[in-house]
């Protein structure tokens, strides 16, 4: 599609050698930690992290069960995954389409909607555990 190979990032570089076994595990872990470091640069993620800490304090005060902590952790990890994917979408759109385009806007808006759904799921669960389950006994 492109005549200029350098434009695609495929200049004269040698292909990357695939690691196997334990080396692959450590390389993958390094990439994951790099992603976590990048995600910490996002204000939205830092807000979500702070909200999770507040929720855990509220769980401790209200005496949440072990299962409720586990469910909250699973929901939070899903929110982290959604936030990471949303950030990846935003980075790709900004790289591929630096000008403002309807398609780029739609991609970013859909990623944002996915994050909002996870935020609402987390907030709803925390409200249920803290307010309805422990304070009202529902």
Q: Looking at the annotation, which residues are catalytic?
A: 83
What is the rounded distance in angstroms from the CA atom of residue 133 to the CA atom of residue 138?
A: 5
What is the rounded distance in angstroms from the CA atom of residue 136 to the CA atom of residue 56?
A: 19
CB-CB contact of 58 with 77 (8 Å): no
What is the distance of C-alpha 96 from the center of its chain?
Answer: 21
- How far apart, in Å, are the Cα atoms of 83 and each of 20, 48, 77? 29, 9, 10
What is the rounded distance in angstroms from the CA atom of residue 115 to the CA atom of residue 126?
A: 16
């Amino acid at each position: 599609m492109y005549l200029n190979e350098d434009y695609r990032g495929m200049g004269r570089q040698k292909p990357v050698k695939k690691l196997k076994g334990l080396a692959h595990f450590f390389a993958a872990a390094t990439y994951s930690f790099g992603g976590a470091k990048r995600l910490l640069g996002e204000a939205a993620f830092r807000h979500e992290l702070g909200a999770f800490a507040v929720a855990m304090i509220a769980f401790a005060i209200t005496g949440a069960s072990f299962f409720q902590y586990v469910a909250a952790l699973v929901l939070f990890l899903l929110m982290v995954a959604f936030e990471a994917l949303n950030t990846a979408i935003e980075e790709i759109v900004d790289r591929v389409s630096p000008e403002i385009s309807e398609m780029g806007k739609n991609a970013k808006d859909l990623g944002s909607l996915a994050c909002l759904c996870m935020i609402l799921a987390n907030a709803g669960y925390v409200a249920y555990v803290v307010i309805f389950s422990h304070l009202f006994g529902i």
